[in-house]
Amino acid sequence: MSKIILGIDPGIADTGFGVIEFFSHSKMTSLDYGSIKTPAGQDLEKRLLQLSLELEKIFKRYKPQILAIEQLFFNKNIKTALTVAQARGVVMLFAAKHSLEVQSYTPLQIKQSVSCYGQAQKMQVQKMVKLILGLKVLPKPDDAADALAAAICASSTLKFK
């Protein structure tokens, strides 16, 4: 029996998503990945609504059971942090609405799960995600690679025989 995991790297301009099917710790595959983009000039509430609508499309197509989401980490720009936190709130509400199991990870935990190094650079994460999932090309954009990495991180806690 497999599990479908939806990984999310939240953002307001770009929310990365990655959907994987987990069979075992030695077998998982990418079903889809990409970025949900919202227009910069649009009102925040419309951008958040668009994020919600796009998440619904992903859910209807793949029916994930688990949502793996990156925790917020900001050390300078409070305005950006607050806006991204609102996008994260939309994702968390979406998860509750669909009764998804939510697993939340720090960027350090996600990087460690795919590269064994919590300070891995974006390119390292992309290369390891490509290797782990057997992709033909590096997953792009960075947000999508991070979302796939979050899904891989969540898979490490699953127990299958």
- pTM of the predicted structure, to 2 decimals: 0.93
How far is residue 116 from each of residues 12, 90, 107, 160, measured CA to CA in Å? 29, 30, 12, 22
- Tell me the domain boundaries of the chain: 3-155
Q: What is the pLDDT of residue 45?
A: 96
Q: What is the pLDDT of residue 80?
A: 77
51-85 confidence digits (pLDDT tens): 999 999 999 999 999 999 998 876 667 777 888 89
Q: What is the pLDDT of residue 52?
A: 97
Dihedral angle of Cα 150, 43, 39, 17, to the nearest 10 degrees: 10
Q: What is the pLDDT of residue 11?
A: 93
> Angle 50-54-60 (CA atoms, 0-180°, nearest 5)?
145
User: What average pLDDT does the chain have?
Assistant: 91
Q: What is the pLDDT of residue 74?
A: 65
Residue ranges of the chain whose pLDDT lies below 70? 74-76, 117-118, 159-161
Spell out the CATH class of 3-155. Answer: alpha beta
Residues annotated as catalytic are: 9, 70, 143
Q: What is the pLDDT of residue 67?
A: 98
